[in-house]
Amino acid sequence: MLTIGVLASGQGTNLQALIDAIKEGYLPGRIGVVISDNPQAYALERAKKAGIPAFYLPPGPRKTYLVSEVEKQYVECLVKHQVQLVCLAGFMRVIKRTFLSNFPNRIINIHPSLLPAFPGLEAWKQALDYGVKFTGCTTHFVNEYVDAGKIILQAVVPVLPDDTPESLHRRIQEKEHFIYPLSVKLIAQGQIKYGE
């Protein structure tokens, strides 16, 4: 059975979608550990409620990424909990070399746009500002570039004339909660090859 490790910085609704999918027997796997770089992350509460080991690991001195020493601590925690696949679920830091070399092609992410459009922060707001008529969400393997690895699945969300950033993000998240568990399920069942 696939053991998953989840990294989350915030609300953790995608974590919840994975927890629920496992509980319902839809996703054949288990979550071995949840780690956050934010002590206030509600994701940590969700994990504890589900009986999953959950840790805040201090992110170190940099705002946008974990320095190598800190990445090492994250990796050690994941390895200790027998994690085979790392799922980034609203983890708001760039993944660097120490992480990638310890989990080669074993890290996936969910991003709130149709990549390669709108990488980076607040992708739903970028889409709204740009004026696109359709946006959506993407699951992808993580490589050394930001939001750039091999795509696993995408879902399309129309942009409505009276959308606000919040309403658009909410509808994108509904689709995220469908494609993230499905992506992990396909990987667990060997139906998707790990990204090269």
165 binds ligand GAR (CB under 6 A): no
Residues within window 11-30 making contact with ligand GAR, judged by CB under 6 A: 11-14
Give me the catalytic one of 111, 140, 169, 177. Answer: 111
In this structure, how many other beta carbons lie within 10 angstroms of the beta carbon of residue 189? 12
**CB-count burial class (<10 Å; 0-12, 13-18, 19+) for 113:** buried
140 catalytic residue (yes or no):
no
In the complex, what is the shortest distance from the CB of residue 163 to ligand GAR, in angstroms, rounded to a whole number? Answer: 15
In the complex, what is the shortest distance from the CB of residue 90 to ligand GAR, in angstroms, rounded to a whole number? Answer: 3
The binding track of 116-155 with respect to ligand GAR, each residue x by CB under 6 A or -, is: -------x--------------------------------
In the complex, what is the shortest distance from the CB of residue 24 to ligand GAR, in angstroms, rounded to a whole number? Answer: 18
Among the listed residues 5, 29, 32, 112, the single contact to ligand GAR using CB under 6 A: 112
Residues within window 170-189 making contact with ligand GAR, judged by CB under 6 A: 173, 176
Amino acid identity for residue 172 in this structure: I
In the complex, what is the shortest distance from the CB of residue 73 to ligand GAR, in angstroms, rounded to a whole number? Answer: 21
Q: Which is nearer to ligand GAR, 103 or 124 (CB)?
A: 124
Task: State the residue number with the nearest CB to ligand GAR.
Answer: 90
Residue positions annotated with a catalytic role: 111
